[in-house]
Amino acid sequence: MNDVQQRAAAKHFAAYWKGKGYEKGESQKFWLSLLTDVFGVEHAAEYITFEDQVHLDHTSFIDGHIPETHVLIEQKGLGKDLKKPIRQSDGTLLKPIEQAKRYANELPYSQRPRWIVVCNFECFHVYDMEHPQSDPTEILLADLPTQYYLLEFLVRKQDLTLQKEMEISIQAGELVGKLYDAFLKEYIDPTDEHSLKSLNALCVRLVFCLYAEDAGIFGKRLMFHDYLQQSGANKARQALIDLFRVLDTPVEKRDRYMDDELAAFPYVNGGLFSDENIEIPRLNDTILDLLLNKASAAFDWSDISPTIFGAVFESTLNPETRRSGGMHYTSIENIHKVIDPLFLDGLKAELEEIKAIQVQRAQEQRLKAFQEKLASLTFLEIPTTSLIRIQAA
């Protein structure tokens, strides 16, 4: 199925199961339908198993198990709180995730889950056992038509974190693209080479500011947002110029009498803000709304992996600039297609082997040696454009 078909299938699935959810009678039907209708699994009854036995002090049963993608499912009835303890048959009180982990610990090591899904028909809680102390990813049944990709690990041996980064990358690129188009309309000559280069630099600076206020680089969240908001549309252009100048000035060299709002921003080295010759147009109400309400207040840039900043930067460049400079940034998915089989899969497997060592002293020795190995690794990347020049020569 393509994306449109899969969204439609997820919408139909969510509509059908809305308000339904009898644990004992409908769990298997629910999961078979999800795998078959939304994710296109053929012979789903052979792909997922139900009621596998695990032997604790008594015999218990795993609600769902997908061996191929290492998924364990703990299913509860509609309306059950997935974060509250439930009394078990042996009298103990366990949260659903604790119950699932107890089952997982009794499985052979090769069959233990990478993913644990706790579900009550109206919400999925996805736990990544690579990060066992982290909060789960929560997916509402009602949101499945737009968030079905978060459950693709059910059928693909692909990292959920990577999927989330890719989705955030797309959203960030769309925001930057809208800012670029809105600013472009405000230039006196939108075809002028200097204006276009200035616009590219301006967008990169804004992306940095948006990331810095969310990631703590500026000291507190929404610091850039609050500074720009108080200026209003009439003074926003000058406010940006003043801010860029301050970010490029070491603290000890700044005007000691400048406004406190500006003085609170840190010095940013590296030359990103050093060129004062860039052309900055006026900021109208549309630009301010995009920048303050959509790109800043409603979007968390700290969730973006540094590896996708190239894609965001590329989205700010006009096509002519990209072509003339040979600029292209590889997607995260394609990067992993190269580095995973080359070295990353092997390193991950080695770490899993070390984590399985039961003797603490032996494990610590292996971990220290592994850390030193990681520190000693060296990688060389030759850009495609360089390879083309080498071949041409």
pLDDT in tens, 256-299: 999 999 999 999 988 889 888 899 999 999 999 999 999 999 88
150 lies in the same domain as 251: no
Contacts of 34 (CB under 8 A, 6+ apart): 13, 151, 154
34 lies in the same domain as 53: yes
Let me know the angle formed at the C-alpha of 202 by 198 and 208, rounded to the nearest 5 degrees: 150
Q: What is the per-residue burial (b if ≥16 Cβ within 10 Å, else e) of 117-155?
A: bbbbbbbbbbbbeeeeeeebbebebeebbebbbbbebbb
Give the end of a domain, one of 303, 325, 347.
325
Q: In this structure, what DSSP letter does residue 340 have?
A: I
Low-confidence ranges of the chain (pLDDT < 50): 316, 321-327, 385-393
95 lies in the same domain as 193: no
Q: What is the pLDDT of residue 164?
A: 65
Give the end of a domain, one of 273, 290, 325.
325
83 lies in the same domain as 186: no
3-state secondary structure (DSSP) of residue 138: strand
Helix-then-strand count for the chain, H and E = 17, 9
251 lies in the same domain as 295: yes
182 lies in the same domain as 154: no
Total structural domains in the chain? 3
Strands (E), the chain: 52-55, 59-62, 64-66, 71-75, 86-87, 93-94, 115-119, 123-128, 137-140
110 lies in the same domain as 206: no
187 lies in the same domain as 281: yes
Nearest to 69 by CA among 153, 137, 130: 153
Expressed as residue numbers, the domain containing 94 is: 3-158
Task: Find the DSSP H helices in 305-344.
Answer: 309-316, 319-325, 332-339
CB 16 within 8 A of CB 70: no
Query: How many whole angstroms separate alpha carbon 320 and alpha carbon 369?
Result: 49
Give the end of a domain, one of 96, 131, 158.
158
99 lies in the same domain as 188: no
59 lies in the same domain as 103: yes
191 lies in the same domain as 311: yes
Query: How many whole angstroms separate alpha carbon 216 and alpha carbon 301?
Result: 11
Which amino acid belongs to residue 27?
S
Cβ-based burial of 265 (10 A; exposed 0-12, middle 13-18, buried ≥19): buried
Provide the pairing of β-strand 71-75 with 115-119: parallel
Query: How many whole angstroms separate alpha carbon 69 and alpha carbon 154?
Result: 6
65 lies in the same domain as 147: yes
Q: End-to-end CA distance of the chain, in Å?
A: 45
CA distances from 322 to 146, 193, 217, 262, 333 (A): 31, 13, 29, 34, 21
Contacts of 385 (CB under 8 A, 6+ apart): 326
